[in-house]
Structure 1
Amino acid sequence: MKGGTVWAKLSHLLGLGIFFAGGALLLTAFWPLVQQIDHLERQKEQVQREVAVEQGRNRDLNLQLELLQSDPNYLSRIARDRLSMGKKGEIIFRFDPFPLPSDREATGNR
């Protein structure tokens, strides 16, 4: 074995060791930032889903507002259903909802 080849191999290994140590140091330094970015992206997706739900609700409310302002039949139906209003001579019957089996067990009635 020649003396120059051993030192060349050791020098090469030392260079690789320094390279990997530097990479590991950078990885440990930036890993919390990577985790924070991942957390923020998940939060963003959740907020986007909530926005989509609220936009759908907004469309429904705008449609209901438009119907209340322009459709007398819809307004009459809402008044009958929600306010228990009726026309002259009508009798309004209201029934309690039928209790589910789980409701009956909770109250002790069978």
Structure 2
Amino acid sequence: MTLDEASDTHSGAERSSLLQSLVRLNRYALLLLLVPAGVIYFWPGLEWKKQEAAKHTLTELTTQRDALAHKVAKLEKKLELIKNDPEYLETMARDKLSLQKDGEIILHFEE
């Protein structure tokens, strides 16, 4: 066996041990990454972000519901006035349709 053959054999053994070390290191790195990822994914206490987002959405929807309920109440009141109050109906007709009684003059002022 010549010196070149011995060095080739020796460098092959070094490469093999280096590769084995790198494979072991990669396994440990993979385990170190998988464990926290698994804990984060499966940990039930970490769903607080989802809960906060749901609470925020609930607050927005509650606000919208209250605003719409207020609008419905105003429209129902207006409907009752239109049905039962001829004076209100007359006022609305004059304002919206620019109607007038005989002998009246309508003046419009721009702001």
Normalised by the length of structure 2, the TM-score is: 0.59
The one-letter code sitting in structure 1 at the alignment partner of 2:63 is R
| Aligned twin of 2:65 | 51
The one-letter code sitting in structure 2 at the alignment partner of 1:75 is L
Structure 1 gap segments, 5+ residues each: 1-20, 98-110
| Aligned twin of 1:93 | 107
Bigger Rg, structure 1 or 2 = 2
**Shift, 1:26, TM fit:** 5.9
- Per-residue Cα deviation, 1:59-81 (whole angstroms, up to 9, x for no partner): 00000001001100000111111
- Among the aligned pairs, what percent are the same residue? 26
- CA RMSD in angstroms, aligned pairs only: 2.2
Structure 2 gap segments, 5+ residues each: 1-34
1:72 to 86, 90, 102: 86
For residues 81 and 64 of structure 1, the distance between their equivalents in structure 2, rounded to whole angstroms, comes to: 15
SS at match of 1:35: helix
- Per-residue Cα deviation, 1:34-88 (whole angstroms, up to 9, x for no partner): 2111101110011001100110110000000010011000001111111111111
The one-letter code sitting in structure 2 at the alignment partner of 1:51 is R
**How many pairs does the alignment contain?**
74
For residues 92 and 72 of structure 2, the distance between their equivalents in structure 1, rounded to whole angstroms, comes to: 19
For residues 40 and 82 of structure 2, the distance between their equivalents in structure 1, rounded to whole angstroms, comes to: 62
The one-letter code sitting in structure 2 at the alignment partner of 1:95 is F
For residues 28 and 42 of structure 1, the distance between their equivalents in structure 2, rounded to whole angstroms, comes to: 24
- Per-residue Cα deviation, 1:14-35 (whole angstroms, up to 9, x for no partner): xxxxxxx99xx3697342x221
